[in-house]
Structure 1
Amino acid sequence: MSEQLVQSEDLHHPANLICELCRNFYNNGWVTGTGGGISVSNGTHIYLAPSGVQKERMQPEDMFVMDRATKEYLRRPTQYKPSACTPLFLAAYDKRNAGACIHTHSQNAVLATLLYGKEFQIRNMEMIKAFPRITESGYYGFFDTLTIPIIENTAQEEDLLDSLAKAIEDYPNATAVLVRRHGIYVWGETVWKAKVYNEAIDYLLEVAVKMKSIGLDPMSDI
């Protein structure tokens, strides 16, 4: 039964998708070494990439599988440890009913947290249109301001849980939380939405960092 949870020829099966996306993140420079992670919800199950595995070499049989309701592991590979990101992923599932949650160590995310205080904000950018308003219908427009909360890092990943959960509650329109000098957590209604949000946010973070480096304000109308 345990192996049936991860062995599938369906390329859209969560275990296969996680491997594909981890390679994508690695090639984009968002995860290096064994850092970062991703989890995908599939009905009553949550699939989680393990700790300590190089993302570009990950295989479906490396996945942990959790019961979404009870939070008990249905599959737990003995050679690996569960990701330290797991409690943070679960916060996105429980508080936002997310379909997937991504954690990267993107340099754009890290640099942006060094240039901003409690929030990252940007406006007048086409890629802002990628984001839903969440608390109301429709998507953001070109002239709208995208706001992403920034929380302080901790020595241990799981110790970020309280501040991340509070940021999710305090920013109901956000699809991500930045962690200073660390990276970013991004979630979405589906795995594909989470991928789109992650890509769009990283683009905007990179633009903002470059704008500030040449003396331009990402919030200006110029």
Structure 2
Amino acid sequence: MPVATTHRRELMIWWVSVVSAGGDLVGDDLTGDGDLADADGWPAGLRVAGEALAREAARYASLGWMRATSGNLSIVLCRAPLRLAVTVSGLDKSELRAGDVAVVDAAGAARPVRPARRPSAEAALHARLAEAAGAQAVVHVHTIASVWAAERWPGGVELEGLEMLKALGRGADGDRVRIPVVDNSQDMIDLGDRIVALRDPRTPAILIARHGLYAWGDDLGAARRHTEAVQWLLEWALANG
């Protein structure tokens, strides 16, 4: 069984066990007590999520897309209430460990999980995308191509006639695809509102001017595929536009 599928199965078993018991995935259920804890005292299901996020972060870091501790990744843990596991702030993304994740709520605020981890303020944007787009996983990277493209086409990057568009679930012929661009802001509520308002429901990605890109999907594999496809498309547009 593929590793990604195994991790998803383990997470699902964990979610069902907690939710069926009326748990909130936070507080006592994530303190390392009882059957939910692994041998190191870390919540077992959260460790599975952390391992997957660390592996993906290392992949993006190797491409130079998460330099200087930038960027963040997330997985939805449950939706009632919404909880996400998000990579922590301020660490080299090529060196993350399974425990380098925070659990956040729908506002991007850290939940009381021990040991405590500090999420980026951008965790709020991951939560907004999980709600608005139904994303199960969100990738945020700082690629040069995404910054250049947003600068060159502030009204959005339009693409058509490219085979790579199929990786976004769009057509290679007769389908004009627009990747929206949103002006950056340090106000996460304002930025989240504009991301939700401007995103195209048919395109699982958006660019933040002078910042980077967000892409999302039904799992980390789909989010990675969308991220890689958008990066390729932006590089093509910049080389040919």
TM-score tier (shorter): 0.7 to 0.9
Q: Out of 54, 61, 71, which is 1:19 matched to?
A: 54
In structure 2, what is the equivalent of residue 33 of structure 1? 68
Q: 1:190 to 1:110 in 2, by over 3 A?
A: same
Unaligned runs of 5+ in 2: 1-29
In structure 1, what is the equivalent of residue 167 of structure 2? 130
Unaligned runs of 5+ in 1: 133-138, 213-222
In structure 2, what is the equivalent of residue 211 of structure 1? 240
Deviation (angstroms), 1:164:
1.2
Q: Out of 182, 201, 216, which is 1:187 matched to?
A: 216
In structure 2, what is the equivalent of residue 87 of structure 1? 124
Q: Is the 8 A contact 1:109 1:202 kept in 2?
A: yes
Percent identical residues: 25
Deviation (angstroms), 1:52:
0.7
Query: Normalising by the residue count of structure 2, what TM-score does the alignment of the two structures yield?
Result: 0.75
Deviation (angstroms), 1:19:
0.3
Render the CA deviation track for 1:6-46: whole Å, top value 9, x for unaligned: 565999x3211110111111111111011110001134542
Q: Out of 95, 98, 102, which is 2:139 matched to?
A: 102
Task: Please list, as runs of the form range in 1=range in 2, the aligned pairs for 1:57-206 lying within 5 A after superposition.
Answer: 57-66=95-104, 73-75=111-113, 77-78=115-116, 80-132=117-169, 139-155=170-186, 159-168=190-199, 171-206=200-235
Amino acid at match of 1:175: P
Q: Is the 8 A contact 2:75 2:86 kept in 1?
A: yes
Query: Normalising by the residue count of structure 1, what TM-score does the alignment of the two structures yield?
Result: 0.81
What RMSD in Å do the two structures reach over aligned CA positions?
Answer: 2.6
SS in 1 for 2:172: coil
Q: Is the 8 A contact 1:113 1:181 kept in 2?
A: yes
In the aligned structure 1, how far is the partner of 2:216 from the partner of 2:67?
20
Q: 1:159 to 1:35 in 2, by over 3 A?
A: farther
